[in-house]
A and B are shown apart, each in its own frame.
Chain A
Amino acid sequence: MKRTLFGFLLAGVVASCAAEEDVVAYDTVYLDISLTGEVIPPTRLVARVMTHTNDGPVLKALDIDLTGIDIASSPYRVKLDVPPGSPFTSETILSVVAYHDDTPVASYAARPSLAEPGDMVVAMVPLTRQCDSDEDGFANCLAGAACCDKDQADYAHDCDDADPAIQPLATNPSCRLCDGTTVCDEGAELTRS
């Protein structure tokens, strides 16, 4: 027992003294929002996070005016203030949509862990009418590889690109279940025909 105690103590001291290199002192998550590909210069960004609590889904949005800002040349950096106990420290969907006036021109979606501080690369993919025919800002990943990041189809894909009410951040759960088996209409969500 005595040897075990001293062993733990020694290991702790050695581990504490071993790290000498510079480390970034992150206390929260930073989003580096950028564009990939040819995109009409966006005039604003809308970032949204959504998670679930016992009281239902909660959504927070941030509207960013990009007047005079060129995010194609350098990423726009957003510091997230995620206080302890925030529901967004659990499973969260993050969506960022870039608009030129009111038309979505690029988007990004992911399911990040906002509880782990650090940099997060938010590289938005161009949206076209082919990718987002209902112009709700969410791409139909079946429309082509250029519409989505390959992983986006898993959790933030627009399974009905003809109906803007159906999208991954809809507050009605029936409207964001992109598995092709439910429909959004109230009271008729059994199957999609």
Chain B
Amino acid sequence: MRTLPTQHDPNGHERARARLAPRWVWLGAALAIASAPFSATAAPPTTARELAAAAANKARAAEFDDAIELYEAAFAQDPSPVLLLNIAVILDRQGRVFDAIQAYERHLSFESDPVGRLSSTERLAAVRVGAPGRVVVTGAPPGAEVFIDDVRVGRVPKATADLPAGDHSLRISHSGYVTFSSTIVVSPGVKQTVEAALAPVQVAAPADVPEPVPLAETENDDDSRTLWIWIGVGTAITVGTALALGLVYGLDDGGSNTVAPRPADRTWSLGGELR
């Protein structure tokens, strides 16, 4: 009888516990710091635990840049993913949409615990909803003017614009070059880079008459044809065998070697309307 993983035998839970264990250390540290009066003569934080606690204090005091710096320092000493989540939340609260998105994605790249990933994923989705998209135009020639929706947004390679999601017209022009026009699709919270490559305006030269291209010689397909024949034969035999086995073991109850699971007291449907 096949048995699913249980509380006593979960897949990968040993690893998860081993990784989560430091979180309780963080909790203990946070509680200890909060319960003790903060001394002005306290030594500057040096350990990852002290740095994280100091970062939490800075965050509470709305000193967000300092808090991020301290969380980064803590993370450098002890790469606990939750430190990255705190950085992302701070950036999110500051309204730094693109930085927050980047930070949430960074957290997700380190976090393997499903609960932590769930939290980050939901926050990331919430940040992206209604967020503008960022368009950066780089490339050549430098100095080319960039217009989006007929509004000049800058010159290549430093033209950047945050735009509402949807279609926008893009035009890049430079004297001596062929103007480039296109439509760009901006997605919320997504940064996209447009690489400009304007073609120089050239005086038309007499067109070269291309030489006729000879038709490709017909290859000898014997080997290929033989291969396909064998593949066809193999497939036919396999399907036929599978059907025969299905008739012997599947459709004939008398010859079946399977038994039905014990009957249930109750059936619980996980389909249909969700709440």
Contact = CB atoms under 8 A, between A and B. Distances in A.
Interface of A: 1-2, 5-6, 8-9, 12-13, 16-17, 19-26, 29-30, 47, 49, 52, 54, 56-60, 62, 64, 69, 76-83, 86-88, 91, 93, 108-114, 116-123, 142, 149-155, 159, 168, 173-174, 176-182, 189-193
Contact of B4 (A49, A86, A112, A193): A112
Given A24-B259, A179-B23, A60 B275 contact: yes
A83 B270 CA distance: 7
Contact of A87 (B7, B123, B274): B274
Contacts of B26: 179-181
B1 interface: yes
Interface stretch (B153-161, B168-176, B233-241): B233-241
Contacts of A58: 274-275
Please provide the 5 A-B residue pairs with the shortest distance between their CB atoms, ordered closest to farther: A180-B27, A79-B264, A191-B56, A83-B271, A25-B258
A189 B262 CA distance: 47
25 contacts: A8-B238, A9-B238, A12-B242, A17-B245, A23-B2, A25-B261, A49-B270, A52-B121, A59-B275, A76-B265, A93-B115, A110-B10, A113-B4, A114-B270, A121-B6, A142-B24, A168-B115, A179-B116, A180-B30, A181-B27, A182-B119, A190-B59, A190-B89, A191-B86, A192-B30
A151 B269 CA distance: 27
A118 B261 CA distance: 9
A20 B274 CA distance: 41
B234 A8 contact: yes
A182 B264 CA distance: 41
Interface of B: 1-8, 10-11, 13, 16-17, 20, 23-24, 26-27, 30-31, 34, 56, 59-60, 82, 85-86, 89-90, 93, 113-116, 118-119, 121-123, 125, 227, 230-231, 234, 237-238, 241-242, 245, 257-271, 274-275
A151 B10 contact: yes
A100 to B, nearest CB: 19
Contacts of A86: 270-271
Nearest to A45: B266
Given A86-B271, A112-B5, A6 B234 contact: yes
B7 A108 contact: yes
Nearest to A58: B274
B60 A57 contact: no
Nearest to A179: B23
A64 B264 CA distance: 13
A120 B13 contact: no
Given A12-B238, A78-B266, 8 more contacts: A9-B234, A22-B258, A23-B257, A56-B122, A77-B263, A82-B271, A112-B5, A181-B82
Contact of B13 (A22, A151, A176): A151
B57 to A, nearest CB: 8
A149 B7 contact: yes
Given A87-B274, A180-B23, A173 B268 contact: no
A79 B267 contact: yes
A154 to B, nearest CB: 5
A109 to B, nearest CB: 8
Contacts of A19: 257
Contacts of B258: 22-25
Contacts of B89: 182, 189-190
A133 to B, nearest CB: 17
